[in-house]
A and B are shown apart, each in its own frame.
Chain A
């Protein structure tokens, strides 16, 4: 028998690296066969490793990767649906479908996520208030179960297993492929309205007032600004540009789409990283001032609007050896004071975050572990090596959020405790019941599940 070498893996945050046996079998039969080689630590599927924490890690166990590439994507233009293998990224999918006048229904802040990962994390985008999360665009999916069998599930077909898989963090099985509903578009450009807002109250009022008029809406917040400038921000509302919005030259190739990566961050960043309070404060000041006070109908390419960070490869290296962690939560509408308290606490603590975004979620879907619920969601990046007391502060924020009836996003989490998840996801036991029914031996396992006690009754 071949000796399998362990491979060092971590999440996008580069924190808490572990060693696991990584395999990439080709074809469903080989994938099912690989499950037999899982030891006592079980198995887990891993996509592109873009979840920030330990969601796609299975330390000491088996980690399965799926093939990528556009070869097996089947587009049904008449129905507006597409069948995509689980290991294909949304970026690859877009490359194929944009030219045909289609777009994915949900696109997060990066295109480097797989379809399987998008389902497992039930990801959301800037259009959640309008279109819901990724699970809603899934017509059906084929799931490889722990016993090696493949079942087809969907909102009408074994719905409990379908919704346990949506947001189920890969712990119900492996998404072999999925049929997705697509969004028809006339052009590959975005029409974007940008507004600079001086403080948090104005921002929240403007968002509540305007986001229903746009398919996409998100605000960047300067988490360094204090006092009367607390919560100063840039709100970008967007829609897919229509044909008549394009100039004559662009209109000759309205669906032209050439995504690019400009640069890749080399692995030569000093161990402490480049992001400290001073550099982030300077960046934030510049970013705020360079943005227009108010601009309407600016045309932007898809990548630039949705995934500006994708323009810089391996941007996580900027954070140095300690890496970064991402903190994202949602609190219900009506809990604006909690949101303000959290932001004040972050600003006062000097936690320099240059990626803090605020967005309003629409209603939740039936998935027990799906993150988005009606309310405000704030997401921010924090250098993990930042300062002493970061852990205590996040713990404090956890409780502010939970007391307000909110919850945290598992795909981004790397710091929460079992208690935080039990309180934030009251349907955890229901989810575990469905999961256990298709995995009675407990094959699927992840470090996220271990840390948060997801599989313990």
Chain B
């Protein structure tokens, strides 16, 4: 119910509770202080499977139904978690769809669905989570952004745009609620080998969910604002961001 002096949380909430990166962060956060992990996921059956792997003699795992596209239930979900388990120490937002950009840039409904889950639904869930943490006067929120949002490329136009929006929202939210004792950490991974990217060609500097989790948890403990995984993406993108469009367009970024 309270972070201890080493930043070890007692109650962890994963939004997108079956996401590889979300679960990797959950595992990385486990410590002798952990009491409860709440997996909020669309596919509750898959969530139960993940729960069985996380649970132990000292850690209870609670699986809750969560759908980014049903914002009406978000506030109720967060307050009911707090009512059951006490103060929430960390909320990890890892829910999202990668989609197929060829489809999403051709089919309006496909584009809308990505925006609905990755952006609109994420905002609703994060507002609901931040309300609970602000009332507590403490807690952290981890937002899974992406380098894809740093400068949107042709190959992932819609996904990149949703992450750009989410990243911007998370920055503003972090500054807005810092005075209420809530810390927002933005994680910007590059290409991550996971079930989301299975079968797709890896981009340069590809990484794993475990590495992203290690970077995220270190960032949490150090109360950082933004972390990149791998870290080299940060200097790289500070250059790429300013490349002239004709050059940017031709880069082999996968």
Contact = CB atoms under 8 A, between A and B. Distances in A.
Interface of A: 6, 8, 13, 15-20, 41, 52-54, 59-61, 321-323, 325, 384-385, 390-392, 395, 414-418, 447, 450-451, 453
A414 B8 CA distance: 11
27 contacts: A6-B137, A8-B179, A13-B5, A15-B4, A15-B5, A15-B6, A15-B7, A16-B2, A17-B138, A18-B138, A19-B137, A19-B181, A59-B138, A60-B136, A321-B222, A321-B223, A323-B5, A325-B6, A391-B6, A392-B32, A415-B4, A415-B8, A447-B2, A450-B1, A450-B86, A450-B87, A453-B1
B3 A61 contact: no
Interface string B4-36: 111110100000000000000000000111010
B210 interface: no
B181 A414 contact: no
Contact of A415 (B5, B137, B138): B5
B43 interface: no
Contacts of B180: 6, 19
B205 interface: no
A119 B221 CA distance: 33
Contact of B137 (A60, A391, A392): A60
B243 interface: no
B6 A41 contact: no
Looking at B1, B32, B137, B222, the one whose CB has the most chain A CB atoms below 10 A away is: B137
Given A415-B5, A451-B4, A16 B138 contact: yes
A391 B223 CA distance: 18
Nearest to B8: A391
A359 to B, nearest CB: 23
Contact of B32 (A16, A41, A395): A395
B6 A415 contact: yes
Contacts of B223: 321
A451 B2 contact: yes
A401 to B, nearest CB: 14
A391 B181 CA distance: 23
Contact of A325 (B5, B137, B221): B5
Given A6-B137, A41-B137, A59 B5 contact: no
B179 A19 contact: yes
A440 to B, nearest CB: 20
A53 B5 contact: yes
Given A6-B181, A17-B181, A19-B181, A391 B138 contact: no
B135 interface: yes
Interface string B113-137: 0000000000000000000001111
Contacts of A6: 137, 179-181
